[in-house]
C-alpha cells in the first residue's frame, strides 16, 4: 500500500535557470532585516509598559517608551534586541529579557493554498521552511497529495521558477527542508480519487519542534512519550511544556488539548494514550 499520507519527505527541485536565479535571490534576502512598514511585537519579560506592537515609520524609526525615537530600519531583529537590552539595562532594568518578532510585514509574506488546515498568507519569519510552515498552518488535510507540493517563486526581476517538493521520505532523513523566500506561493494538491483509497488510516502525526516530524503508524498502546521518542525527541528550540494534541471527536469536530510533556517525562503526570489520526504539535520556546 502506498504511503501517501502526511509523512514529510524528500525535496525534489525542478532545475532550471529560473530556479538558479531563485537560489541567488535567497542568498541576497535577509528575512530578519527590519524595513519601513514592518510591525514589530516586542515583549519585555514582566514589563507590560515596555511590551506591545510598534510600527516602523517611513523614516525607519519606532517610538519606544523611555528611549524615544529608535532607528530600526536595516537592523536585524537580534541587533535591535541587543540595542534595547543595552539601553534599558543602563538606567531602567536589571538584565532585561526581550523577545522581538515580526507581527506584520508587507514585504515578508508567503502564501499556502490547497489541502492544508489553515490556508492563507503568513509572515515570513527568519529561517521559515516548508515543513515549519506546514506545521504552523495545522498540517495537511486528510486528502493532501504530500508527494506533489508545488512552490512558485518570483525573483526580483519578476521571473518565476517552479519547484516541487515530495515530502514522503523526509522523516526518514532522506532529504533536506526548503527555506522559503518572500512571495513564495505553495500549492498542496488533492489526492486523485483512485489513490485516496490507498491512504493509511491507522496513523498519528507529529509536527513542530521535533527531530523527525511526520506520520507514524499507530500501534496499540501508543502514547505521547512513545511517539516523541520514535520521532527522535525534541529539537533544541522545543517547548516540551507546550505540546498540543489535536483529536477528531464524533461528528468530525476537532478538539485540542495542551499537554506538558516535560512533566510527564519527570513522572509528575500520567502519559497520554493516543488514538488513530491524532495530531501532535510541539511548540517553539518563547525565550
Q: What is the dihedral of CA 117, 26, 233, 103, to 10 degrees?
A: -60
- Confidence at residue 85, expressed as pLDDT on a 0 to 100 scale: 94
- Confidence at residue 118, expressed as pLDDT on a 0 to 100 scale: 84
Nearest residue to 78 via CA among 40, 108, 46 = 40
User: What's the grid cell of residue 45?
Assistant: 519579560
More confident residue, 90 or 191: 90
Q: Are strands 185-190 and 109-114 parallel, antiparallel or unpaired?
A: parallel
More confident residue, 261 or 199: 261
Calculate mean pLDDT across residues 140-154.
Answer: 81
Residues of the chain with pLDDT > 90, as a percent, come to 28
pLDDT confidence tier of residue 175, bands split at 50, 70 and 90: low
**Are 276 and 270 in contact, with CB atoms under 8 Å apart?**
no
Topology of domain 203-284 in CATH is Outer membrane lipoprotein wza fold like (3.10.560)
More confident residue, 176 or 20: 176
pLDDT confidence tier of residue 3, bands split at 50, 70 and 90: very low
Contacts of 23 (CB under 8 A, 6+ apart): none
Please say if the pLDDT value at position 285 is more than 50. yes
Residue-range domain boundaries for the chain: 11-30+108-196, 39-104, 203-284
Superfamily of domain 39-104: wza like domain (3.30.1950.10)
Q: What is the dihedral of CA 32, 148, 152, 208, to 10 degrees?
A: -10
Which residues, in sequence order, are bridge partners of residue 134? none
User: What's the grid cell of residue 268?
Assistant: 509528575
Topology of domain 11-30+108-196 in CATH is Outer membrane lipoprotein wza fold like (3.10.560)
- Confidence at residue 62, expressed as pLDDT on a 0 to 100 scale: 95
CA distance 79 to 59: 18
Which residues, in sequence order, are bridge partners of residue 163? 151
- Confidence at residue 173, expressed as pLDDT on a 0 to 100 scale: 57
**Are 55 and 42 in contact, with CB atoms under 8 Å apart?**
no
Calculate mean pLDDT across residues 161-166.
Answer: 86
Contacts of 201 (CB under 8 A, 6+ apart): 276, 277
CA distance 69 to 71: 7
Please say if the pLDDT value at position 23 is more than 50. no
- Confidence at residue 31, expressed as pLDDT on a 0 to 100 scale: 59
Please say if the pLDDT value at position 83 is more than 60. yes
- Confidence at residue 142, expressed as pLDDT on a 0 to 100 scale: 67
- Confidence at residue 4, expressed as pLDDT on a 0 to 100 scale: 33
CA distance 52 to 284: 20
Give tens-digit pLDDT for 184-211.
Answer: 999 988 877 666 555 555 788 888 888 8
Side by side, the strands of the sheet bearing 98-104 are 52-55, 39-44, 98-104
The total of other beta-carbon atoms located within 10 Å of residue 141's CB is 15
**Are 238 and 208 in contact, with CB atoms under 8 Å apart?**
yes
- Confidence at residue 22, expressed as pLDDT on a 0 to 100 scale: 38
Please determine whether the domains at 11-30+108-196 and 203-284 fall in the same fold group of CATH: yes
Please name the helix (run of DSSP H) or strand (run of DSSP E) that holds residue 244, with its range, or none. Answer: strand 238-248
Nearest residue to 142 via CA among 89, 211, 209, 188 = 188
Amino acid at each position: 500500500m502506498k504511503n501517501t499520507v502526511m509523512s514529510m519527505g524528500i525535496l525534489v527541485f525542478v532545475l532550471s535557470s529560473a530556479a538558479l536565479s531563485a537560489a541567488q535571490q535567497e542568498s541576497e534576502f535577509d528575512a530578519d532585516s527590519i524595513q519601513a512598514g514592518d510591525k514589530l511585537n516586542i515583549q519585555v519579560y514582566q514589563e507590560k509598559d515596555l511590551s506591545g506592537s510598534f510600527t516602523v515609520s517611513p523614516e525607519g524609526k519606532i517610538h519606544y517608551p523611555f528611549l524615544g525615537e529608535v532607528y530600526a530600519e536595516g537592523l536585524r531583529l537580534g541587533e535591535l534586541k541587543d540595542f534595547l537590552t543595552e539601553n534599558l539595562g543602563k538606567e531602567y532594568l536589571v538584565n532585561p529579557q526581550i523577545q522581538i518578532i515580526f507581527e506584520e510585514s508587507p514585504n515578508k509574506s508567503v502564501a499556502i493554498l490547497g489541502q492544508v488546515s489553515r490556508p492563507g498568507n503568513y509572515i515570513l519569519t527568519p529561517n521559515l521552511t516548508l515543513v515549519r510552515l506546514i506545521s504552523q498552518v495545522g498540517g495537511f488535510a486528510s486528502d493532501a497529495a504530500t508527494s506533489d507540493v508545488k512552490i512558485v517563486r518570483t525573483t526580483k526581476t519578476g521571473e518565476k521558477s517552479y519547484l516541487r517538493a515530495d515530502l514522503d521520505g523526509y522523516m526518514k532523513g532522506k532529504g533536506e527542508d526548503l527555506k522559503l523566500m518572500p512571495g513564495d506561493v505553495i500549492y498542496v494538491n488533492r489526492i486523485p480519487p483512485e489513490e485516496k483509497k490507498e491512504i493509511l488510516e491507522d496513523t498519528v502525526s507529529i509536527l513542530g519542534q521535533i527531530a523527525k516530524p511526520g506520520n507514524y503508524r499507530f500501534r496499540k498502546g501508543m502514547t505521547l512519550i512513545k511517539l516523541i521518542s520514535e520521532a527522535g525527541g525534541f529539537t533544541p528550540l522545543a517547548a516540551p511544556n507546550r505540546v498540543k494534541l489535536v483529536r477528531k471527536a464524533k461528528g468530525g469536530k476537532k478538539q485540542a488539548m495542551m499537554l506538558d510533556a516535560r512533566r510527564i517525562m519527570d513522572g509528575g503526570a500520567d502519559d497520554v494514550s493516543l488514538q488513530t489520526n491524532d495530531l501532535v504539535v510541539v511548540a517553539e520556546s518563547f525565550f
